[in-house]
Each structure stands twice: as C-alpha cells, then as structure tokens.
C-alpha cells in the first residue's frame, strides 16, 4: 500500500472512530480523536478548545438531547494539503436527537469540516466546524440557480 493510501486509510479510520464514539455517547472516547489543543465549533457556533474541554462540552448533551441519537457519515471526502495534513468534509445524517428545547429533532443532515494532522505517526483532529444543512429542496433550488436553469428564479 502506498504512503498516500495508508494515510487516507488512517484518516478515514479516525472519522469512523469519531462516529463510533458519538453513537455510544462517550464524551471521553469522542474527545480522544482530537488533538490536545484542538478547536471545536458546533452547529450553533459554540466553541470549545482542547481535548478535555471538548469532552466536558459533550458530556451533558450525550446525557440529554443526544442520548438516543444515531450519527452516520453519509459521505467523507479527503484532500491532502500536505502528506501530514488533510482537509476532510463529512456529510452526516442524524436521527433520534432532541433539540435544545427538548422537542423531537427530525432527521438532520449536515457537514463537518475537519483539519486532521499527523504528529509522531498519530492522526488527530485539530480543527472542526460543524453545520446543519438546509432541507434537500432548498439545496436543489440553489443548485438550479447555480447552474443557470431558466426555471430557477423564484
């Protein structure tokens, strides 16, 4: 296996570990995929810096609004900026969550953007930004506008 293929496999395994930790709602395991000084930003724009802070940030939500949630990585795209730095986009879907007001949160779709680095043969997330994506109909309407489709204008 080439060095590039090995690196991509390691990055994808890190994303799998991220998803697996989410799905068992284990804040410590979730935080372990992050670098000691990582930056984490959630869909509400809330920020946590550092592995332990990221774990503390997730403990209460794993015990409440996300305790029954199920995260799936629908599509993962990896682009190496350097052999030891990867930009990763993870399109995700989530079921079983409650919103911060305690209401059932229907199927959610989003995008996580990660910067992942290798230090001493260990890959970890150094920056994460997460966002909810709009309803599929909205995305399709925007795609029609971008493509110049005549019927795209509202």
CATH code (residue 108): 3.10.450.50
Q: Is 79 part of any domain?
A: yes
pLDDT (tens place) for every residue of the chain, 154 residues total: 677 899 999 999 999 999 999 999 999 999 999 999 999 999 999 999 999 999 999 999 999 999 999 999 999 999 999 999 999 999 999 999 999 999 999 999 999 999 999 999 899 999 999 999 988 888 888 888 988 865 555 5
Distance (Å, whole) CA 141 – CA 152: 7
Degrees to nearest 5, angle at CA 95 with 93 and 99: 105
Rounded to two decimals, the pTM is: 0.89
How many CA atoms lie within 13 Å of 151's alpha carbon, on the beta-carbon side?
1
Q: Say what the pLDDT of residue 46 is.
A: 96
Close Cβ partners of 98 (under 8 Å, ≥ 6 residues apart): 64, 65, 66, 68, 104, 105
Q: Say what the pLDDT of residue 136 is.
A: 83
The domain containing residue 34 runs over which residues?
Answer: 3-149
Q: Is 154 part of any domain?
A: no
- Into how many domains does the chain fold? 1
Q: Is 120 part of any domain?
A: yes
- Per-residue CA distances from 68 to 25, 32, 95, 116 (Å): 8, 21, 8, 28
Q: Say what the pLDDT of residue 117 is.
A: 98
Q: Are 145 and 152 in contact (CB under 8 A)?
A: yes
**Burial class of residue 46 (count of CB atoms within 10 Å of its CB; 0-12, 13-18, 19+):** exposed
């Amino acid at each position: 296996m080439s060095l590039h293929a090995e690196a991509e496999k390691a990055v994808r395994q890190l994303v799998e570990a991220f998803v697996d930790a989410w799905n068992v709602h284990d804040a410590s395991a979730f935080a372990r995929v992050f670098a000691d000084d990582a930056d984490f930003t959630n869909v509400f724009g809330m920020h946590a810096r550092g592995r332990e802070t990221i774990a503390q940030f997730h403990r209460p939500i794993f015990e409440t609004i996300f305790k029954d949630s199920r995260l799936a990585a629908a599509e993962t795209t990896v682009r190496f900026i350097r052999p030891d730095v990867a930009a990763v986009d993870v399109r995700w879907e989530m079921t079983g969550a409650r919103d911060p007001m305690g209401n059932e949160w229907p199927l959610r779709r989003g995008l996580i953007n990660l910067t992942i680095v290798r230090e001493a043969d260990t890959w970890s997330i150094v920056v994460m930004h997460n966002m909810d994506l709009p309803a599929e109909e909205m995305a399709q309407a925007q795609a029609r506008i971008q493509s110049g489709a005549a019927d795209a204008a509202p």
